[in-house]
Chain A
Amino acid sequence: MKYAYYPGCSLHSTASDYQQSIDSVFKKLSIELEEIEGWTCCGASAAHVSDVLLPLALPAKDLLKAEKMGLEVVAPCAACYNRMRQANHKLRENAALRRKVNQILQADYQARVKVRHISDVVVNEYGLEAIARLLEKDLKGMKVVCYYGCLSARPQKIVAFDDAVYPSYLDRLIRTLGGESIEWPFKTECCGGSFSVSKKEVVLKLTHDLLEMAKNLGAEAIVVDCPLCQFNLDFRQEEVEKQSGAHFALPIIYFTQLLGLCLGLRSDALGLKKLNVDPFALLERKNLQI
C-alpha cells in the first residue's frame, strides 16, 4: 500500500506527536507514505472566509502534484482533509470555477484525485482484522470516548466516510484493541476549532461541555483523530478547569498513539510525552507503559 502524503502545517508543529505516531505505526503496518514535495498550506479556516478562489487554488495546487504521482492522497488533519475534499467537489461540479483555477495554476486539474482521511485508510483500507493479527498488547480495562469532531463528518455528502451523525470507526478500532469505548452523544459536536486564539471563550465553553460529558460517563481518556480538536481539548483543559472549577485530568490521545502501543511500539516513538495532560499514569494502570 502506498499513498501520497499531505501532512499539513499542524503535523509539523502543534501536532508533531501525531506525526511521530503516524510515522511509527505506518512503518509497522508497511503502508508507505510519500510526502507531496513542496506541499503548502490548504488555507484552513482562513481562506474560505476571505476569498472565493483561494480555498480552491490552495488545495488544488498540491492535489495536482498527487495526480502526477498517480496516488491517492492521505491527510491526517481533519481540516486539511475537509478543505481538499470540498475543493475537489466544487471543482468537479463547477466547470467555470475549474477553468479559473486552472488558469491560475496554469495546469489542467480535473479534480479526480481521491483524498482519504488517515483513519479511513487505517480502519477501512488496511482493516481491523489485519490489525487484530498484529497486536502485541491490548487496551483491556481502558474506558474511553471517541471524539470525531466536525471536519471529517460534515458536509456529509462530501467528506463523511462513516455515519456522519454517529460515526463508529474509531470506536470499532478501540474495541479491536481490547478497550472499552463508551457510547456518548457528543461524537460530532464542535470544539470551536480555530477560535482557540481569536475567540477563546467559545472554545473554553465548548471544550468544557465535551470534557464534562466524557468525565461524567466514566471515560479515562478521549481518543481523537484531528489536531485542532486535540489541541483545544488538551492544551486548553487547564484553563477550562480553572474557569469552571471542575477537575477533568483527561488525557487527549491520538488514535495512532494507542494503536502504536498495542502494536508493541515504544511510547517515545509515539510522541506520548508531548501530550499536555499526562497520559502515563493511565497507561501504567493498564500495563501499557514501555
Chain B
Amino acid sequence: MKIVLNDQARVFSAQISKMIGQNIDGCYQCGKCTAGCPVAYTMEIPPHEIIRLVQLGREEEALASHTIWLCASCETCTSRCPKNIDVAAVMDALRVLAFRQGRTDVEKQITLFHKLFLQVVRRFGRVNDLRLMGKYNLLTLNPLKDWRLGQKLFSKGKLRLTSPQVKGLKEFQEILQRVQASEREES
C-alpha cells in the first residue's frame, strides 16, 4: 500500500504530539511497549502499531481500533520506552478524541462503563457501586450479571444501599459544569 506523508497526514500526528506534550516521531518502532503489554494478546493492532498509525496520520484506523479501549492504563509501556514516549498518554489522547467524536461503538461495554462512572460521580460526587452496576447491567441488557457477586458483597457489608452525602456537592457540580464548558471550547 502506498502512503503519502503530506501535510494532511501530519495534522493528526501533530495533534497527538501536542496532546501528549512530546514529539511522537521519536518512536522508532522497537516494539518494547507491545512486548510488555499485559493485554496485547487481546488487541488486533498492538500498541507500537497504533503509534505508527498516528505517525502516518491514519486517524481513521487508530480511532476505530479496539486497542485504544483495551489498554488497561498499567503504564508498563510508558515506563519501558527507550525513547521515553508516553505510550499510555497516547492511548488516553486517542480515547479522548474518540469520545469527542462519539466513536464508542467498537467497545460498547467498556465505553459505557466509563460514561456511567462519570455520570454517577457528577450526580453524587462519589462512586455508588450499586447504582453504577445496576445501571450498567440494565443498559447492557444483562440484569443478573454478577448477581451472586453483588449478594456476596452485600452480605460482607461492602455495598452501600444509600447514596453518599457529600458536603459541598453543589459547588462540585458547578466545577464540573465549568470543566464541560472548557472541554467544549477545546474540541
A: residues with CB less than 8 A from B are 9-10, 12-17, 37-41, 43-54, 57-58, 61, 93-94, 100, 103-105, 150, 153-156, 164, 189-190, 192-195, 197-199, 202, 206, 235, 273-274, 276
Contacts and interface: CB of A to CB of B under 8 A. Distances in A.
Given A54-B183, A202-B42, A235-B149, A150 B75 contact: yes
Interface in B137-178: 146, 149, 152-153, 156-160, 164, 166-169, 172, 175-176, 178
B175 A51 contact: no
Given A93-B21, A190-B38, A235-B153, 20 more contacts: A15-B158, A38-B167, A38-B169, A41-B125, A45-B73, A46-B114, A46-B115, A47-B118, A49-B91, A52-B183, A57-B176, A154-B76, A155-B86, A156-B79, A192-B72, A195-B72, A195-B110, A198-B113, A235-B152, A273-B156
Interface size class of B (residues with CB under 8 A): 35 or more
6 contacts: A46-B117, A49-B96, A51-B96, A155-B86, A198-B112, A198-B136
Contact of B129 (A14, A61, A274): A14
Nearest to A203: B72
B79 A154 contact: yes
B74 to A, nearest CB: 4
6 A-B pairs with the lowest CB-CB distances in the bound complex, closest first = A154-B75, A198-B113, A38-B167, A190-B74, A38-B168, A9-B127
A155 B22 CA distance: 16
B21 A206 contact: no
B129 A13 contact: yes
B182 interface: yes
A46 B175 CA distance: 17
B95 interface: yes
B127 A199 contact: no
B141 to A, nearest CB: 14
Contact of B76 (A12, A40, A47, A190): A190
Contact of A198 (B109, B172, B179, B186): B109
A194 B109 CA distance: 12
B110 A198 contact: yes
A199 B164 CA distance: 27
Interface of B: 19, 21, 38-39, 42, 70, 72-76, 78-79, 86, 88, 91-92, 95-96, 99, 107, 109-110, 112-115, 117-118, 121, 125-129, 133, 136, 146, 149, 152-153, 156-160, 164, 166-169, 172, 175-176, 178-179, 182-183, 186
A14 B109 CA distance: 22
Q: B121, B133, B166 — which one has the most chain A CB atoms within 10 A of its CB?
A: B121
A104 B175 contact: yes
A153 B76 CA distance: 9
A50 B91 CA distance: 11
A57 B179 contact: yes
Contacts of A41: 121, 125-127
B118 A46 contact: yes
A58 B126 CA distance: 11
Contacts of A153: 79
Given A14-B129, A51-B179, A53-B179, A155 B78 contact: yes
